[in-house]
Structure 1
């Protein structure tokens, strides 16, 4: 357990940051799920729109330190190739 005032403050900050990161990760997963559902339904227009909405959210997660840059790039790449394959 944190004893010094500095350690107590850091524990509070970490708790706040964890909540923010958890919410952001959840929001990104929701966007990705929408893309997956549109792909599963076979609706190319809906899938393209969902992917277009998901890309900036993913990259925002990268800039905020929730995801690694390569992870987001890989997810976008794989989803876009799957959307492209719909026809």
Structure 2
């Protein structure tokens, strides 16, 4: 299994965590939201506990900030220079 498949399978296991993921609308690059907290708290009905999602996702992805149109900084810069 290649790394990309492994990462996508990991995200499928935790669908609620996609809110912390960003995908550029132009180039399709995926990364985590830089505003993601160091510790994500989850509730399972028996109380709250820290998840390991934020630590694990930082192993697979780099921080990716997108603007209000969903473009990463690189695509936005390219668009501003060429259009």
Q: TM-score, normalised by structure 1?
A: 0.31
TM-score, with length taken from structure 2: 0.31
Question: 1 or 2, which has the higher helix percentage?
Answer: 1
> Which structure shows the bigger proportion of residues in strand conformation?
2
